[in-house]
Structure 1
């Protein structure tokens, strides 16, 4: 409960500072730089060597793929039936197909399932959601904005992302027996800065703009991201005999709020930025209730 309270307090503090204080220019960029380039790689280096890879470790990764490609299929079909503009289909595919599996997923899963759950959450994020953002996200953004996706750009984004490099190193270290105690402690301490700084940054950027003509797309998008996607993941896991912590973490990561980076990508490619930010803001607020509820329904 105290860990979930920390999430809420950091998010609210960020929103209050953005509304009533005068934060220094560039604070969001600075916080995000630290989170993405220091805290997140450190957490990956600390967690990945602890992961016990078994025959079901693929499942949290698979739920990320189900969430992304399910969103793409759903919104492409709905868009054709409802005569949505291509930009709206692309925006919903990005923000409702990619979850906030690191900034919010890591602390929320850790709050509910401890370090073992966090280790699986890292696997889902780094082997599932991040490659989908770097590859699938660029392809979707390019296709629905009328641009040509570049294979070289996709490969470069993946190969140079610090957390991905940390993932490969962490797997190698885990196979070799793990880090020395001093290094392990150092990485954990650096990684612990991720939660408060990431959620404070989310709060600083929090926006909620509701327009009447966006309500249908908003409700449909969040219906997929917060309800149907985790249900699809749960059904897949049960059908294939996955249970316990692995099932819970895979479903919870599928249920996370929309990804901040996906909304930024939609903005960069001019895919209905107002809708993307509305879905992002509403999804963050609602997920603070729906994710713990999903965990409780699974017996967490």
Structure 2
């Protein structure tokens, strides 16, 4: 009789000590007494595995940085058109929203529910991470000062010197943006100052675009003029002349189902009889039809020509 009672009680006791798989409160509100908002920046990510959850958490963290910086920029910037033009021409990624470059973050909590969905809480210590960013910002500030210390009486050469510092200034601003997100501490806006100085200097430099081409010279002229205008240069005869020479011809391959067009592009930036910068490009372009190959060759020459010109101006 006693054995029967004992066997009956065992499953009852087991059921009493079982703990349900409860959803942690930090999934809906990541901040708590252990990780207060004034000390940490926290985000939550979820996924079908731990690795997926971490990846999504890092994406969410990058989004926090980029969205807060964007909102702050819209409030404090009157006209950002200059910056957009420069950024498009230099094709730089935004460090403020780069997942790969988010240093100092770590997973502090994780949870997997009964359905196999995993949640992680990712944390950044505000002061520690800001201190690291400040050190990097200090290094970039010194580099910018070193570049700016170079002097020249020639306005285009001065422009070249300043333009060569643009990547460093943009990186410095991105670090400053992160520091602001973490601590709300403002740092000098090196990028805005550089953009303003470059545009002011460029307005004093006139560049006339001359195009020599049997076909579509107006497209080449408009393209190069547009790039120079984005950099701030005046479009009129005077200081410098940008001479663009373009030619293309069909290339026949009997066994190929494609049509080919080879182009040659020559660009010379000169002042009086002096060549300041020059380069040449050539490439063979393929398409299904000869007309398409010809059009693609022109567009390729224009895009690559503008990119090369801007690269030369900053060297």
TM-score higher than 0.5: no
Structure richer in helix, relative to its length: 1
Normalising by structure 1, what TM-score? Answer: 0.23
Structure richer in strand, relative to its length: 2
Which structure has the larger Rg over C-alpha atoms?
2
Normalising by structure 2, what TM-score? Answer: 0.23
